[in-house]
A and B are shown apart, each in its own frame.
Chain A
Amino acid sequence: MSDIFIYMLVATLVMLSCFAVGLPNILHSALALIGSFMITAALYISLQIELLALAQIMVYIGGIVVFMLLIILLTTGLGVDDKRRKISFGKWMSSGFIIGLFLTSLLYFFSENDTGLADIITPKALPITIDQIGIRLLSTENGFIVPFEVISLLLLAALVGAVVLARKDVHIKKEES
């Protein structure tokens, strides 16, 4: 696979990230964000870091974006009040022109000068498997068992905090009844 594939992925990623920040409708921004997460996962796959790609899909697309969407759906007025569309057509055109010029020149530069980026970043050794990461994470010698346990404690504290926030106050209920 030549460099050009990775550059196409990266260019789409940059474009979608710009959309995620710049679109007037928050929901459309969220959609662009989903796309950019997907392409990040694809980049990881092309670098043969499979676990990171799967974690990206699972944590970001399966978890975080869904919660973001729930929050967005429960807000009224998604910024579609056309105030931000007052930016003139010429301004959009000029910024689009500059971005397009930038991307084209980048593409031209990298397709003319083959940097062999794909060869450099692809690890020469075998790809690291999930088993290796799991064993390394939980082994006591030269492993990450202590950070792992500390993080699980932190998550437990967060869970307990969520329960405390969500539960009904017993005293108030007694006074009412």
Chain B
Amino acid sequence: MSAAETLYPLHNGIGNMVRDFFPESAFYINAVLGLTALIILVSSLASILIYLERKVSGHFQVRLGPMRVGYHGILQPIADGLKLILKEILKPKGADALTFYLAPMFPLTATFLIMAILPYDHHLQLADPAGGVLYVLGISGLTVLGLLLAGWSSNNKLSLLGAIRAAAQMISFEISLALIILMIVMVSGTASLREIVLSQQGLIFDWWIFKLPFLGILAFIMYLVVSTAELNRTPFDLAEAESELTAGFHTEYSGMSFAMFFFAEFVNMFISAALATTFFLGGFHAPLIGISFVDHILNSIPGFIWFFGKTFFIIFIYMWFRWTFPRLRIDQLMSLEWKMMLPVNLILLMMVGVFMVLGWAG
């Protein structure tokens, strides 16, 4: 038995079945099974999210979105994927070859690494490190690295400007994100994602969004704003402002290396929504309301359906933002973070501390 098996065991039906049949090599088989599931999940999520984005955008603009490929355009992601695979990957003249081809791998790797520790259900989680929150914050730094390297290695000043803008934005907003997450770690008393979900067990009013009197909702709204900025999505998408910077850091990318950035962006949206679900909306817990008849029905629905339902609801909110708010200027964005978000977050953190001392926080 290795350190990894003792630190992060996989205790679910399939994992235990493998352990019964192959007690010697169960560790390797379980790891391979888990990673395969992860790869299937990430690749299917990316296509589902791209289809959803196009459909939701279409309906917000009173049009139908993709309709031709399959029923209501349901095969459109497959057609898009085929197109991207068949396209040629062009390298600009004078670009640094190693960095140019390496850069798109960083964001995609980061998404895989974070997806591995999300708690999808009671026993549906690849690993549960005790410092899961720290892990999430650290690994998301890889995305910034990828953007910076992509911008520089494209040998194009617009790409470099876009990359530096994106990096500055993501680094700044990561501070606020970390402070909000720290607040949840404070009230739940643990840094492991699974334990944070378990600390919200009970009725719907035991979720952290409702359990902290009015601070929870405030923190949730701030999390939505900050994570939208962290994802470089509209209204904070000035890193890829078409009118000023053509397309930002991925201007020179084509074919699969562009698709890697694109996939990473969409899967990152899922990760942000999933983290919001984990921190505020009770993760895989059903929204019980205290009436035993209704609760019985709600409890019979498996936890991962609740998890994905809540997550896709938050993803819908992100897409809603996109067609509601106009884009900010870079100085407005920076003053929003450093002059508003950061002080408000610090005050919120202090108030939560006071609430905890007074015993009002659950």
Q: What is A's interface to B at a CB cutoff of 8 Å?
A: 1, 25, 27-28, 31, 34, 45-48, 50-51, 54-55, 57-59, 61-63, 65-66, 69-70, 73, 122, 127, 129-131
The listed residue (B134, B141, B152) touching A73 by CB distance below 8 A is B152
A35 to chain B, nearest CB (A): 11
**Alpha-carbon distance between A1 and B5 when the two chains are bound, in angstroms:** 10
Contacts A54-B135, A61-B138, A61-B145; A130 near B167 (Cβ below 8 A) = no
Contacts A27-B96, A50-B7; A69 near B138 (Cβ below 8 A) = no
The listed residue (A58, A70, A127) touching B7 by CB distance below 8 A is A127
**Alpha-carbon distance between A167 and B244 when the two chains are bound, in angstroms:** 28
The listed residue (A31, A59, A130) touching B191 by CB distance below 8 A is A130
The listed residue (B7, B134, B138) touching A48 by CB distance below 8 A is B7
Instruction: Provide the residues of chain B in CB contact with A57, threshold 8 Å.
Output: 135, 138-139, 141
- Where chain A touches its partner, the secondary structure class is helix
- Asked whether B130 lies within 8 Å of A69 as measured between CB atoms, the reply is no
- Residue B273, interface by CB 8 Å: no
Give the residues from 176 to 207 in chain B that come closer than 8 angstroms, CB to CB, to chain A: 190-191
A157 to chain B, nearest CB (A): 18
Q: Can you pick out 8 interface pairs between chain A and chain B where the beta carbons lie within 8 Å of each other?
A: A46-B3, A48-B7, A50-B130, A61-B141, A66-B141, A73-B152, A129-B130, A130-B131
Give the residues from 118 to 172 in chain B that come closer than 8 angstroms, CB to CB, to chain A: 129-131, 134-135, 137-142, 144-145, 148-149, 151-152, 160, 163-164, 167, 171
- Asked whether A45 lies within 8 Å of B167 as measured between CB atoms, the reply is no
Instruction: Name 16 extra pairs, CB < 8 A, besides A27-B149, A59-B138.
Output: A25-B96, A31-B98, A34-B145, A46-B3, A54-B129, A54-B138, A57-B141, A62-B140, A62-B141, A65-B141, A66-B144, A66-B171, A69-B148, A73-B160, A73-B163, A127-B7
**Alpha-carbon distance between A27 and B139 when the two chains are bound, in angstroms:** 20
- Asked whether A1 lies within 8 Å of B102 as measured between CB atoms, the reply is no
**Alpha-carbon distance between A82 and B151 when the two chains are bound, in angstroms:** 23
Of the listed residues B140, B144, B160, B164, the one surrounded by the most CB atoms of chain A closer than 10 A to its CB is B144
